[in-house]
Structure 1
Amino acid sequence: MKYVVDAREMKHYEETVMDILGMPASVLMERAALAVAEEIRGYAAARKLRAEDKSLLVVAGSGNNGADGLAVARILSQEGWQVTVYSAGSRAHCTREWERQYKIMGFYPVRVVSNWPVEEYTVLVDALFGIGLSRQIQGEYGAVIREINRREGYKLSIDVPSGIHASTGRVMGEAVRADLTVTFGWAKKGLLFYPGAEYAGRLAVKEIGINQTCFEAAGNKPGMFYYEEPATALLPPRRPDGHKGSFGKVLLAAGFEQMPGAAVLAARAAYHAGAGMVKVVCPEENRCILQTAVPEVLWAGPEDWRQVCDWADVAAIGPGLGRNAVGKGILTGLLAESRLPLVLDADALNLIAGDMSLQILAAGQGEAGRSMILTPHEGELSRLSGKTMEQVREDREHVSRALARDLHCILVCKGARTLVCREQGEICVNLSGDNGMGTAGSGDVLTGVIAALLAQGAEAFEAASVGVYLHGLAGERAARRYGSHGLTAGRLAEAVGEYAALQVLE
């Protein structure tokens, strides 16, 4: 697990390390510069650059980000690089650290220019703006960023690409398109959220002395995290003497009307994620299709859902449910009459969004302590929250958190950076996945995975967070095999089990 911070949190931890722990700013800056220099050396080694090809342009602003750039220029000038610094900021507004680094750099073979040099450079270092940027970029600075983007050469941004909001990932007018961003301490939200993630290129998070040691002194921890360890290390443990009943029984209300495939995908995924037994509640006309595609699955008719509740450990409803009276009746009954942990997706969410009585019922169940996981995409989140699509896209984090509080549930906001929120506490942002997962049925697979983890005893927030992560890793594996264009939900469901098996074998 790795933490993620916004600009405010990062400034707080920097101040804690300097003011309370006593680490001088100059030490942090030197370590940051050494980390950047290390990445540049690595690039040069990988490209097998000759000595005469090692040319470096540092575009430095007048703040501490620019000071980092000056330190990088000094370090690499001692290693045979031909280094030029383009000072883009006003000397009248330079920080104290900038002045200190500029004075030190003056003793080393670094060329300083106040206008764009005509030469091309192998590596361009963007040290214009750091995490403190809050205003739109225009005028002279906008022209500087456009020139950086126009130039040939490998582009490295220090901490964040200049022009990207460190907390939201928004483009503040103009932004540098980096090949690599070297950031310090922890990943910044704006480097993980789109469009900032696209501008950041490859992300390297470097330790410079601002780490978890400062949490106690600061009095808090960051409010967001992501997983990067093997998902199998996060899955519920399996007893060596276990059997199909001890690994969880899932009730899946899905695959109504003309959508049996949704039930097939969710059931198959639940089995591949470790569920011991899955019983699908759907109409008789879809039974043959379902049990031919997934012979392990059990079946019950819509009229028998109450008996299935008595049998199950967990319920999931929504994939291919439709918005008919029968499906709505089962949803209402699951909310009103059952206390099973519940996963709600697709049409279950649309039915709740369109019926205030269901919203009140769901909120009451959540407030009473029932585990409920809602898995909306942005369109469903818009309908559930009453926000416009633009408002959701502008602030997915806070819209998701607000709805989690209103319904007293775990909220999984699906997207390129899926967020898992609860009423309070940490938010999980998922970094696994592939764009090929943007295909029909992918959400049905996720429903099955999360339900399976719940059935095996995982706590609701953990089941949702780990489920999203495993789902993404399976997508990456399927994309490697079939390509992003050839990735289907069926292949994704199969890859859930293949990923887990591969990790165990390794």
Structure 2
Amino acid sequence: MRVLSAEEMRDMDRRAFEEYGITGVQLMEMAGRAVALVADHILQGRLTGELPAHPSPVLTWLDDLSRGRASLPARSGLRVCAVCGTGNNGGDGFVAARHLANWGYDCTIFVAGDPGRLQGEARLNYEALVRRGLPVIDVPEVSELRALEQADLIIDALLGTGIRGEVMERISEVMDIINSAEAPVLSVDIPSGINADTGEVCGNAVVADVTVTFAAPKTGLLLYPGADFAGAITVADIGIPAPLMDLRAPAGKHIIDGAMVSELIPERESDSHKGDHGHALLVAGSPGLTGAAEMAGRACVLSGAGLTTVACPGGAHATLAAKFTEVMTLPLGQPTEVALAPGHAKALLEQAGRWTAVGLGPGIGRDPQTISFVRDIVPKLDRPFVLDADALFALGEDAAKLLAGKADLGVITPHPGELARLLGTDAEWVQSNRLEAAGRAADDFGVVCVLKGAHTIVAEPQGRAFFNLTGNAGLAKGGSGDVLTGIILALLTQGLAPVEAAVAGVWLHGRAADIAAARSNQISLTATDCLKAIPEAFCEAGAV
């Protein structure tokens, strides 16, 4: 599924007219009707008790909810208040209110601004409401909005995707009243006050229970804090021609879904053997940190690698070997050696022909010798690899130099703090600019960057970015990143390109966490729980 910026959406609207003759009036009608359909669904659910007033955040496509309309309960007595601005977002709200009134709802429309400023399609739909005789109330004073306290549903159509800078004080007061009302809030395209490109709050914003967004999700709905304000997101088709939404675009933003991952899962021939599915080398673990190696190694096996070897310092080998049955282990150095060293890099590179792909980082520690090992071996890697944790620490601000020439080979999986160190900035900036930060890392280092966190972002050099919506807060716990490294390593080992392995890996990892959390809860979720759910995640993606 494509993800669009505000400018990209405006370009879609323009091209729909210039290339296909689809007018703004047609698009607004489709958009407003989509809002009305979702509003109807929410209200009928509240009436029958079949739909919660505050749905869990989830991304869905809008089906034709108008089917079976005659069998639904009567709508009289249910009050809808649409709070509309004077731009096109307000016009969408006018259309929604007209349809809801036609279906029998008690609709009141509030215009937060001077109706004389309405133009084009928005003015046409405002005038249609007036001619229809519906209560359209100008709001010179915010006290006029106290009627929202009696509403069964509030439609937020104040501000759309064009907002820049902070909202005006008067509009902010209107937002406060909407947010203080008890009724569920349905936002049009994006919660008013949220920057559609960055997810930033422009001084104040409406907190929605549901957001109906048009044609494709807007970037700001997937970036925090905007994602917290959006509630459940429903994507509505408003008639943008399919060629304009081409998913094969060489650049752009996309949401990872099960169908996309299903196409990436390696197929196995019935007569295949372990050698056909690659040999993964995982360099991980050190005394006191063998659990990281165990998590990553087990994830690699469960994710399909034909053979998995875990290499670790000799001083950690006995402990690590006792943890595995399906995984081979390789001691580097003597039992007295507790850290990786540059000499170990030479030993591994001499055996490089054995490995299909390499994973490096989980639990290796930050000993100066280990840092030298990483900085020695990474420039010499000539096969697909994934770097995580302490390997990223070792690269530091020399990442661009050490990763030079690794196009089409590498994946890095930093959390915000690790990426901040690589980019020479701070974690606060990374969190506030996640899409830009991931894209900058991919471009600067020439490898695929997986920026971990809520709505993990996968960015490829000079190309696409992908948002992952699977996963939950239970992943905010030690060991989770190690499991992800193992999954990505296994997929690289089976022949997936770096961006494919990263895209499939983050979705499978998050889905395993969701499956595991559903069995207990997010607070108690562990990396081991996620490991146990990996097979089910693969099944959901179509693995046989």
Q: After TM superposition, is the score higher than 0.5?
A: yes
Distance 1:222 1:48 in 2: 44
How far off its partner does 1:307 sit? 4.7
How far off its partner does 1:502 sit? 5.5
Distance 1:483 1:291 in 2: 31
Q: Which residue of the partner structure matches residue 6 of structure 1?
A: 5
- Residue 203 of structure 2 aligns with an amino acid whose one-letter code is G
How far off its partner does 1:177 sit? 0.4
Which of 358, 363, 381 pairs up with 1:338? 381
Distance 1:289 1:232 in 2: 37
Which of 286, 308, 315 pairs up with 2:358? 315
SS of the aligned residue for 2:274 comes to coil
* 1:227-266 map, 5 Å: 227-230=256-259, 231-266=261-296
2:403 pairs with 1:362: yes
Q: Which residue of the partner structure matches residue 452 of structure 2?
A: 414
2:263 pairs with 1:226: no
1:275-328 deviation line (CA, Å, top 9, x unaligned)? 111101113343343333321111111244235423110111000011124433
Distance 1:338 1:80, change over 3 A: closer
Q: Which residue of the partner structure matches residue 208 of structure 1?
A: 238
Distance 2:241 2:474 in 1: 35
Distance 2:111 2:308 in 1: 64
Distance 1:239 1:186, change over 3 A: same
2:530 pairs with 1:492: yes
1:38-67 deviation line (CA, Å, top 9, x unaligned)? 111111222236644410000010001101
Q: Which residue of the partner structure matches residue 31 of structure 1?
A: 30
Q: Which residue of the partner structure matches residue 428 of structure 2?
A: 390
SS of the aligned residue for 1:274 comes to coil
- Residue 416 of structure 1 aligns with an amino acid whose one-letter code is A
1:344-390 deviation line (CA, Å, top 9, x unaligned)? 11000001006x3x642322x32xx4501111110000000001223
Distance 1:107 1:475 in 2: 53
Which of 161, 165, 170 pairs up with 2:191? 161
Distance 2:540 2:436 in 1: 37
Query: Is the contact made by 1:3 and 1:222 (CA closer than 8 Å) also made in structure 2?
Result: no
SS of the aligned residue for 1:299 comes to strand
1:417-461 deviation line (CA, Å, top 9, x unaligned)? 211112111111111111101110111111100000000000111
How far off its partner does 1:257 sit? 2.5
Distance 2:253 2:125 in 1: 33
Q: Which residue of the partner structure matches residue 128 of structure 2?
A: 104
SS of the aligned residue for 1:36 comes to helix
Query: Is the contact made by 2:209 and 2:230 (CA closer than 8 Å) also made in structure 1?
Result: yes
How far off its partner does 1:503 sit? 5.4
Distance 2:268 2:210 in 1: 41
2:47 pairs with 1:17: no
Q: Which residue of the partner structure matches residue 59 of structure 2?
A: none
Q: Which residue of the partner structure matches residue 77 of structure 1?
A: 101
- Residue 20 of structure 2 aligns with an amino acid whose one-letter code is L
Distance 1:465 1:503 in 2: 13
Query: Is the contact made by 1:77 and 1:108 (CA closer than 8 Å) also made in structure 2?
Result: no
Distance 2:349 2:281 in 1: 10
Query: Is the contact made by 1:339 and 1:370 (CA closer than 8 Å) also made in structure 2?
Result: no
Query: Is the contact made by 1:250 and 1:455 (CA closer than 8 Å) also made in structure 2?
Result: yes
Query: Is the contact made by 2:75 and 2:103 (CA closer than 8 Å) also made in structure 1?
Result: no
Distance 1:505 1:21, change over 3 A: closer
Q: Which residue of the partner structure matches residue 199 of structure 1?
A: 229
Distance 1:351 1:61, change over 3 A: same
- Residue 14 of structure 1 aligns with an amino acid whose one-letter code is D
SS of the aligned residue for 1:294 comes to coil
Distance 1:502 1:131, change over 3 A: closer
Distance 2:350 2:19 in 1: 61
SS of the aligned residue for 1:46 comes to helix
1:141-167 deviation line (CA, Å, top 9, x unaligned)? 000000000112121000000000011
Give me the CA root mean square deviation.
2.0
Q: Which residue of the partner structure matches residue 84 of structure 2?
A: 60
Distance 1:353 1:470, change over 3 A: same
Distance 2:27 2:227 in 1: 25
* 1:419-430 map, 5 Å: 419-430=457-468
Query: Is the contact made by 1:56 and 1:81 (CA closer than 8 Å) also made in structure 2?
Result: yes
Which of 452, 461, 469 pairs up with 2:499? 461
1:114-148 deviation line (CA, Å, top 9, x unaligned)? 24244310010000011111120131000000000
- Residue 77 of structure 1 aligns with an amino acid whose one-letter code is A
How far off its partner does 1:258 sit? 1.2
1:6-44 deviation line (CA, Å, top 9, x unaligned)? 101111111110222110111111111111111111112
Return 121-130 or 304-313, whichever deviates more.
Answer: 304-313
Which of 469, 477, 480 pairs up with 2:518? 480
- Residue 420 of structure 2 aligns with an amino acid whose one-letter code is S
* Structure 2: runs of 5 or more not aligned: 49-73, 333-343
Return 11-20 or 219-228, whichever deviates more.
Answer: 219-228
1:73-124 deviation line (CA, Å, top 9, x unaligned)? 1111111111101110222321222211111112324212224244310010
Distance 1:285 1:222, change over 3 A: closer
How far off its partner does 1:392 sit? 1.4
Q: Which residue of the partner structure matches residue 470 of structure 1?
A: 508
How far off its partner does 1:221 sit? 7.0
Runs of 4+ residues over 6 Å off in structure 1: 219-222
TM-score normalised to structure 2 length: 0.88
- Residue 376 of structure 1 aligns with an amino acid whose one-letter code is P
Q: Which residue of the partner structure matches residue 324 of structure 2?
A: 294
Query: Is the contact made by 1:62 and 1:98 (CA closer than 8 Å) also made in structure 2?
Result: yes
TM-score normalised to structure 1 length: 0.94
Query: Is the contact made by 2:375 and 2:395 (CA closer than 8 Å) also made in structure 1?
Result: no
2:329 pairs with 1:305: no
1:159-200 deviation line (CA, Å, top 9, x unaligned)? 000000011111001100001000110000011111111100
Distance 1:58 1:498 in 2: 43
Q: Percent identity?
A: 35
SS of the aligned residue for 2:239 comes to coil
Return 448-457 or 289-298, whichever deviates more.
Answer: 289-298
Query: Is the contact made by 1:162 and 1:175 (CA closer than 8 Å) also made in structure 2?
Result: yes
Which of 376, 395, 408 pairs up with 1:352? 395
- Residue 25 of structure 1 aligns with an amino acid whose one-letter code is G
Q: Which residue of the partner structure matches residue 278 of structure 1?
A: 308
Query: Is the contact made by 1:5 and 1:222 (CA closer than 8 Å) also made in structure 2?
Result: no
* 1:107-126 map, 5 Å: 107-115=131-139, 116-119=144-147, 120-126=150-156
Distance 1:158 1:501 in 2: 36
SS of the aligned residue for 1:486 comes to coil
Distance 1:233 1:385 in 2: 33
Distance 1:82 1:454, change over 3 A: same
Distance 1:164 1:211, change over 3 A: farther
